[in-house]
């Protein structure tokens, strides 16, 4: 049986012919598009049609890149926030230190001005700590007998009297604050000239004017200074300000509460005044009366 090839229109062109046909068509289309832009519209339509497919194909890579950028940004932001918090704490600490130094410098300037106003010699001392006894108002300073301090010396700051040296060690000294219960300071009312005694109450920031008559000339806001009659505190040192006055007829004396002018608990530096005795010693009256009494008794016996 003979084999005859199929007709041309049933089998189509051979692969080589197809290649040549499509190559020629491609060249024609390239020349037409390059020279006359005939396919510009077709290209744009095709780009619009295949755009969703392009986005869909690029979605996994975009998601992966976005996730990487997100975690990288979050990590960078956390590190930046941590650094900013550290910088903020450092700046805050420096600001607090600067404020403390400014306050200390202002206090030192006030102390120097107060020292220049005083005629007596004084020693600048630093407050080391408060006494351990919770029922007393005492502080310990870093100057002692080696710095010529003695018990009884008054202690002041730039605002007023703080207390009195009560115990002296070679390199330290103990100061009893004027707010200590039982501590007495003879004072003078600047406005009225009334002399009285100011006593500590044991309560921080509170003093009481002792033995004030109900009709005494004392008003709220009166300034009290040391009178100097005790020979311990020099006269004229600011001590306290009258805060409240209670005239109770049932009591023998008025209750006058005062606020200390000196910073008894605030600052860390004070002045110890080397105050000399301002009054002569008391005369020995009893020593003079005793011989007279003995002479009189002898005379009466002989009579």
Angstrom distance (rounded) from CA 71 to CA 114? 64
Residue 293 pLDDT class (50, 70, 90 cuts) = very low
pTM: 0.56
Angstrom distance (rounded) from CA 109 to CA 95? 21
Model pLDDT, residue 276: 63
More confident: 203 or 296:
203
Q: Does residue 190 surpass a pLDDT of 60?
A: yes
Angstrom distance (rounded) from CA 43 to CA 30? 13
Model pLDDT, residue 215: 86
Residue 117 pLDDT class (50, 70, 90 cuts) = low
Q: What is the mean pLDDT of residues 117-127?
A: 76
Model pLDDT, residue 263: 80
State the burial class of residue 125 (Cβ atoms within 10 Å of its Cβ: 0-12, 13-18, 19+).
Answer: buried
Instruction: Give 105's contacts (C-beta < 8 A, 6+ positions apart).
Output: none
Output the average pLDDT for the chain.
Answer: 79
Residue 51 pLDDT class (50, 70, 90 cuts) = confident
Indicate the pairing of strand 238-246 with strand 254-260: antiparallel
- The pLDDT tens digits for 55-105 are 787 778 777 777 777 777 888 888 888 888 888 888 887 777 777 667 666
Q: Does residue 135 surpass a pLDDT of 80?
A: no
Model pLDDT, residue 230: 78
Model pLDDT, residue 301: 41
Q: Does residue 295 surpass a pLDDT of 50?
A: no
CB 254 within 8 A of CB 214: yes
- Dump the DSSP string for 53-102: HHHHHHHHHHHHHHHHHHHHHHHHHHHHHHHHHHHHHHHHHHHHHHHHHH
């Amino acid at each position: 049986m003979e084999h005859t090839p199929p007709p041309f229109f049933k089998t189509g062109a051979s692969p080589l012919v197809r290649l040549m046909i499509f190559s020629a068509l491609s060249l024609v289309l390239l020349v037409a598009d390059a020279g006359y832009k005939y396919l510009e519209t077709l290209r744009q339509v095709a780009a619009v049609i295949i755009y969703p497919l392009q986005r869909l194909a690029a979605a996994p890579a975009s998601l992966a890149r976005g996730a990487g950028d997100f975690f990288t940004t979050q990590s960078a932001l956390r590190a930046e926030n941590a650094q900013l918090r550290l910088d903020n704490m450092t700046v805050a600490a420096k600001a607090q230190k600067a404020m403390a130094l400014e306050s200390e410098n202002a206090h030192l300037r006030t102390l120097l001005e107060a020292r220049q106003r005083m005629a007596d010699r004084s020693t600048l001392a630093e407050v080391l700590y408060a006494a351990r006894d919770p029922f007393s108002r005492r502080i310990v300073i870093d100057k002692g007998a080696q710095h010529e301090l003695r018990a009884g010396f008054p202690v002041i700051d730039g605002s007023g009297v703080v207390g009195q040296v009560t115990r002296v060690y070679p390199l330290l000294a103990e100061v009893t604050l004027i707010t200590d219960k039982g501590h007495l300071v003879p004072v003078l009312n600047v406005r009225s000239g009334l002399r009285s005694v100011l006593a500590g109450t044991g309560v921080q920031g509170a003093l009481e004017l002792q033995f004030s008559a109900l009709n005494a000339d004392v008003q709220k806001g009166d300034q009290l200074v040391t009178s100097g009659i005790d020979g311990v505190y020099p006269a004229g040192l600011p001590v306290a300000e009258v805060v409240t006055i209670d005239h109770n007829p049932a009591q023998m004396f008025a209750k006058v509460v005062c606020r200390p002018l000196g910073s008894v608990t605030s600052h860390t530096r004070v002045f110890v005044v080397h105050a000399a005795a301002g009054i002569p010693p008391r005369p020995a009256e009893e020593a003079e009366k005793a011989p007279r009494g003995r002479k009189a008794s002898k005379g009466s016996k002989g009579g």
